[in-house]
Structure 1
Amino acid sequence: MKKSSEGDSLKNNIEVWEDLVSIKELVMSLVICSLGAFGGYLLAPKERPKQLFLGLLGAIIGFVICSIIIKPKREFIETNQED
């Protein structure tokens, strides 16, 4: 029974930088951060540096929202190893 749940979780995950990531959450975070950056860019006055800074601010706000919505699923197991 456990092997099937591991197989199902592998189907829903991809490897990014040697870490397993949920495809659904990855796409959701990409959309949120992209909308934040694009929204900041569009809301900025038509002056060049302000568009850049508000676009970056929108991306940072999107990152903060994603870090609140998407919780890490890692489990660290501490073991005592003696040399």
Structure 2
Amino acid sequence: MTLQRRDQSDTIEIWDDVVRIRDLILAIIINSLTTLGGYFAAPDDPPMPLLFGLIGAVTGFILSSFIIKPKRTFEENESER
């Protein structure tokens, strides 16, 4: 299986993967807003801000995965073993 990546000038490499800068910034903004929103919306009891912040982080991850689509395509090649 080979991996094809689009050659774009607006990409950077993070952890051996190429991402578009616009998508990275959008994901950071979405996750920051949902995490901080959950944290500040939580009741003032000690474990609740942490729990609401974690729920906000998971929600932000899910939203980001629906909004930002992968840019990679995989092609399977027959190879000899």
Question: Is the shorter-chain TM-score for this pair beyond 0.5, marking a shared fold?
Answer: yes
Deviation at 1:31, TM superposition (A): 0.6
Q: Which structure shows the bigger proportion of residues in helix conformation?
A: 1
Where structure 2 has 5 or more consecutive residues not aligned to the other structure, the ranges are: 1-5
- Residue 34 (structure 2) pairs with residue 54 (structure 1): no
- Between structure 1 and structure 2, the one with the greater Rg is 1
Using the alignment, how far apart are the partners of 2:46 and 2:65 within structure 1? 29
Aligned residue in 2 for 1:66 = 64
| Deviant stretches of 4+, over 3 Å | none
1:73 alignment partner AA: K
The number of equivalent residue pairs is 76
1:80 alignment partner AA: E
What is the TM-score of this pair, normalised by structure 2? 0.89
The structure with higher relative contact order (CA 8 Å, sep 6+) is 2
Q: Give the share of equivalent positions with the same residue, in percent.
A: 43
Where structure 1 has 5 or more consecutive residues not aligned to the other structure, the ranges are: none
Aligned residue in 2 for 1:21 = 19
Q: Deviations over 1:2-51 (max 9, x none)?
A: xxx83xx1x20000111100000000000100110000000000111000
Partner SS, residue 13 of structure 2: strand
Cα RMSD, aligned residues only = 1.2
